[in-house]
Amino acid sequence: MRSSTASRPVHQKKPNWFKAKFPTGERFAVVRNLVREHNLSTVCEEARCPNIGECFNSGTATFMILGDTCTRACRYCAVNSGRPDPVDPLEPIRLSKAVKKLGLDYVVLTSVDRDDLSDGGASVFAACIRSIKHLNPSCLVEILIPDFQGNLLALHEVLNAEPAVLNHNIETVKRLYPELRPKGNYSLALNLFRQSKQYNKTIPIKSGLMVGIGETIPEILETMKDLRDSGVELLTIGQYLQPTPKHVPISRFVTPQEFESFKKFGYDIGFRHMESGPLVRSSYHAASQAQVASKLNR
């Protein structure tokens, strides 16, 4: 069977409906400078998110904790891979001070994979959540976590810190996991959602899926059903963009009409909130999703 990456063009011209605003503006510069002043990393910059201008200008950002070097090397991801630096014990304090200075009401925390740590970095996630809440009592914290290699004690540790939303991106369909995410596990990810919901039914569960990387439409719909059956309530679907020539090329640009059909299907099968569009990323309009999430499971 032919590999899903075979014969793909390295570059494809973006269609005229695929546009992202160039990141400019006074608030963009303020947020970017503050992030650098506090020696923080954002997935907005590290993963080259096309929405960085929109989010920074609204005074929001997705902070990436536990350094900027990942122990995995997924073939679609722009984040550096290799041997990470030791954990910084002062990161939760620096992060909470930056959140306070920005005056944020909603924060998203994510991280690189830290398979070198016994708990995958769960204790740092928990410490950051608690530190942000202590210094910013009205601030809600969403977490976008790795799979912790199936470590349930690690998962329980972050849930005990009571994030507003727990997010883990499924990223792609099951068939493409060995090729695109060889150190990941599709079934393990689904189990993480089920275990999260069993442990704390009040914390909404979220996931994200990228398309245009070699999957078929039936596979997308099947993945959506798997996520919903595993307890996921909030879902984001966006277009994959090849970050560098070394990464997996785009197989095709998914049309706005198709994204709308995914959104309709998602609501039909029971998702409580959907964000589906070419420029959608897992943290896109996270605060808006949180408003829906706050009404879930009451």
Nearest-angstrom CA–CA distance, 73 and 51: 23
Nearest-angstrom CA–CA distance, 112 and 81: 9
Q: What would the pLDDT profile of 80-121 be if each residue is shown by its tens digit?
A: 889 999 999 999 999 999 889 887 788 899 999 999 999 999
Task: Assess contact for 134 and 171: CB atoms under 8 A.
Answer: no
Q: Looking at residue 9, what is its pLDDT?
A: 39
Q: What would the pLDDT profile of 234-265 be if each residue is shown by its tens digit?
A: 999 999 988 888 899 999 999 999 999 999 99
Low-confidence ranges of the chain (pLDDT < 50): 1-10
In this prediction the pTM is 0.86
- Burial label for 108, CB within 10 Å (0-12, 13-18, 19+), is buried
Query: Domains of the chain by range and CATH?
Result: 26-293 (3.20.20.70)
Q: Looking at residue 259, what is its pLDDT?
A: 97
Rg of the Cα atoms in the chain: 18
Task: Assess contact for 247 and 76: CB atoms under 8 A.
Answer: yes
